[in-house]
Structures are given as C-alpha cells and as structure tokens.
Amino acid sequence: MDFKLNDEQRMLEETVGRLVRDTYTFDARNKILESEQGFSADMWNQFAELGLLGVPFSEEAGGFNGGGPELMVVAEGFGRGLVVEPYLATVVLSGTLIDKLGNDAQKEQWVAAIIGGETRFALAAYEPQGRYDHTVVDTSAKKDGDGYVLSGEKAVVLHGDSADQLVVIARTAGSAGDRDGLSAFIVPADADGVTRKGYATIDGLRAAEITLSNVKVGGDALLGEEGKAIDALEATLDLGLITLCAEAAGAMEVACDQTLDYIKERQQFGVPIGKFQALQHRMVEMRMELEKVRSITMLAACSLDAPADLRKKRISAAKAQVGKSGRKVAEEAIQLFGGMGMMEETPVSHYAKRIVMIDHWFGDREYHLGILETLIDVDDHAA
C-alpha cells in the first residue's frame, strides 16, 4: 500500500501546478471566459508542448502512458485553476474512446492529432430524454452503401460548440436503453446536416445542443465493431468521472484555502471572524469533506484495472461523494465569505459554481448512488 506519487507522477503534478500558478490567474481566466471561443488556443498549445494532451495514450502513439492516477494528478491541478480548456472533452472522453475502439489508421490519424494539439474533439453521447443515462440513445445510424446516415439529437455536449470533430454515439440496432447496438462514429463538426447551438455553462465551460439530420459519413467513420461500443464507452466515461472527481478535489482544496484565508483576515466585532467557534467548526467540516473526496478519488483512480463491477462501484461512489461533499464545501465557502461570497468579483464564487455544477456532469449524486445501490452486494475490500 502506497499513496505517494512516483517520480513521473510528481513531475506531471509540478508541470501542471507551475502552469496553473504562473499563467492561469483569476484575471487571465476571466479574459479567457470573455473570449469568443471560451477557452485559450494559446493555452491549448502550451498543453501540447508540455505533453499534457498525451497523458492517457500509449508511448508508441506518442503519449505518456498514464492511467488513473496520472489523469487524477493532471485534473487536480486543472481544478485548482478552474481550467476551462476542452481537456476532458478532447483528451479524456474522445481521445481514449478512439484509442480503445479505433483501428490502426484511425488511431494514427486522430490520436496523433489530439496529442499534437491540432484537433479538438467532443463526445456527443447523452440525449435530451436520457438525462445521465448513456444507454438512452435514439440517435440512429443507418447503413447507407459503404457508409452510414446519422440522425438524432445530442444534449449538453461538453465543448461541442468549438470541437473540430465529434465522436457521436448512435444506435445501429435495438432501442433506447439497450446496451447492445450502440456504435461510435467520428463526424466532422462542419459536416452537412450537423447543427450546433452553442452556449456558456454556469460553471465557466461551453457546451452545445447538437442536431444531426441525415448526416452522411463513410464506413471509415465507424470506430470498432458495429453495435459493440458499450464497454469501451463505459470505460471511457469512467475515466471522465475520475477526471471530474479529481478536478473537484483540486477546486475544493482552493475553495477551502481561500475561505480559511478570508476568515483569518476579515474583522468583525474587533477580531478576525475565524476566532468564532461557530465558523471554526464549519471550516473544519469543509476540510473533512475535502479529505473524503481526496481519499475516494484515489480509490477510484486506482481501480481502473479492477473487475468491472467493482470499478463501477468505486467510481460511482466517488462521484456521489463529490456531489455530496462538494455541495457542502461550496455552500459553506459562500456562507463564510458572507456578502463577498455572493460577488462575481470574488474568486471563491467561481470555485463554488464549478464544484456544485460538477454534480451535473455525467451523473449526479442520486444517479450514482442509484448505481451504487445496484452494486451493493459487490464485495469491496479496498486492499
């Protein structure tokens, strides 16, 4: 048993940490938020130069060969700076799915383009009727000569507004809710029949509602075997969940630190408000929730190779804990900051928004507790 980072992981942590500290200041981030794209292409290039876009990919593909702990380290660093670039959408969700399902030619083309920072992707999986359930897919992909014709609607596609390419999950067989019959396709975002309504999300990111109407793609757009995408999709979404949990841990840490600084500094009744026991205990509770999230995120990040049921159980438990503990930390941070916590100009309010809204990406507390409920009999011995 060993919770220390190895040399490579520490190096990653330092790389991300330095980048965020030096360049991702609150003001710099605000400028990025105001930009048209909602993220910084320049920052994206820096990610590429530093090798961050290759973290989960094999060394042969030009990647870092990282697993759960490596992604965790990167995402925690991003969480500390509330980084808004499409790392999760491009690298974690689309890149690893292509890497898992794609043939050599597809991987050579797309994984290399992701690692090099040339192409940005979005994963168009969830649909308006499905909420957080990735099997509720009505989008159809009908065979058309050598290729396919795709039609359907995709909801709240993370960074779907700016992506160059989409990985679309569509149904080649069965009906909504079936695990079989799901296929993954690479679709250029500017293909005929793709319409995107892009928007900002309240936590500083961008997303889009995407409509596909009779979008024609070639046979080489299909990733992996037709109708058999579910296992790879779920493994990919699990990586996404680990990334989100770690990002939450990083953001919660900063929210705790900023709150602690504030209550030591803010004077009322002639003393720093941190002298009041009522506030001290709330501060302690925030830190306790942070520790829980850190712990269970480590458990999730180290469970990628566990049997599928155990892996899902731990990852859903982690996401549910983030939903529960994150809400507590975010609400308490605002409360302890008082009126200042309500202000857009106060950084902690941005952390609070991100922490709370992470619960709404890829399954909230209730959704993941529901999954945990179905796995309640899966034996969990941490070690």
Partner 1 sequence: MDINYTPEERAFRDEVRGFLNDKLPADISRKVKEHKRLGKEDTIRWQKILNEQGWLALHWPKEHGGTGWSPIQKHIFEEECAEAGAPTVLPFGVNMVAPVIIKFGTQEQKDHYLPRILRSDDWWCQGYSEPGAGSDLAGLKTRAVRDGDHYIVNGQKTWTTLGQHANMIFCLVRTDPDAKKQEGISFLLIDMEKSEGITVRPLITLDGEHEVNEVFFDDVKVPVENLVGEENKGWTCAKYLLTFERTGIAGVGSSKAALAHLKQVAREQQVNGKPLIEEPHFRARLADVEMELMSLEMTNLRTVAAAEAGGVPGAESSFLKIMGTELRQEITDLFRRAAGPHALPFLPEELEGDFEGPYVGPEFAASVASRYFNFRKLSIFGGSNEIQKNIISKMILGL
Q: Are 237 and 93 in contact (CB under 8 A)?
A: yes
Q: How far is the CB of 22 from partner 1 (least distance, A)?
A: 26
- In the complex with partner 1, the residue whose CB is nearer, 358 or 372, is 372
Bridge partners, residue 209, by sequence: 197
Q: How far is the CB of 291 from partner 1 (least distance, A)?
A: 5
Q: Cβ closer to partner 1: 22 or 277? A: 277
The distance of closest approach from Cβ of residue 375 to partner 1 in the complex, given in angstroms and rounded to an integer, is 9
Output the six-digit token pair for 355: 């922490």
Alpha-helical (H) ranges within 119-276 are 230-265
> Nearer Cβ to partner 1, position 2 or 27?
2
What is the DSSP secondary-structure string of 293-358? HHHHHHHHHTTTTS-HHHHHHHHHHHHHHHHHHHHHHHHHHHHHHGGGGG-TTSHHHHHHHHHHHG
84, 120, 275, 294 from 89: Cα distances, Å: 11, 8, 44, 23
Contacts of 2 (CB under 8 A, 6+ apart): none
Which H/E stretch holds residue 17? helix 7-23
Residue 114 vs 301, nearer CB to partner 1? 301
CA end-to-end distance (rounded Å), the chain: 8
Q: Which is nearer to partner 1, 172 or 303 (CB)?
A: 303
Q: Please, what is the minimum distance in Å from the beta carbon of residue 314 to partner 1?
A: 7
Give min distance, CB of 303 to partner 1, in A: 8
CB of 285 to partner 1, least distance (A): 8
For partner 1, which is the closer residue by CB, 111 or 298?
298
CA nearest neighbour of 324 among 355, 303, 350, 348? 355
Euclidean distance between CA atoms 242 and 251, whole angstroms? 14
Q: How far is the CB of 133 from partner 1 (least distance, A)?
A: 18
Q: Considering the complex, what minimum distance in angstroms separates the CB of residue 298 from partner 1?
A: 6
C-alpha triplet 22, 323, 208: angle, nearest 5°: 70
Distance of CA 235 to the CA centre of its chain: 13
Smaller CB separation from partner 1, 236 or 321: 321
Q: Give the nearer residue to partner 1 in terms of CB position, either 60 or 377.
A: 377
Minimum gap (Å) between residue 2 Cβ and partner 1: 5
Element (H, E) at 168: strand 165-171
* φ, ψ for residue 174, nearest 5 deg: 75, -165
| C-beta of residue 315 within 8 angstroms of C-beta of residue 300 | yes
Pairing of strands 267-268, 271-272: antiparallel
- Is 159 or 294 the residue whose CB approaches partner 1 more closely? 294
**Footprint on this chain of partner 1 (rule: CB under 8 A):** 1-6, 9, 69, 260, 263-264, 274-275, 277, 280-281, 283-285, 287-288, 291-296, 298-299, 301-303, 314, 317, 320-321, 324, 369-370, 372-373, 376-377, 380, 382-383
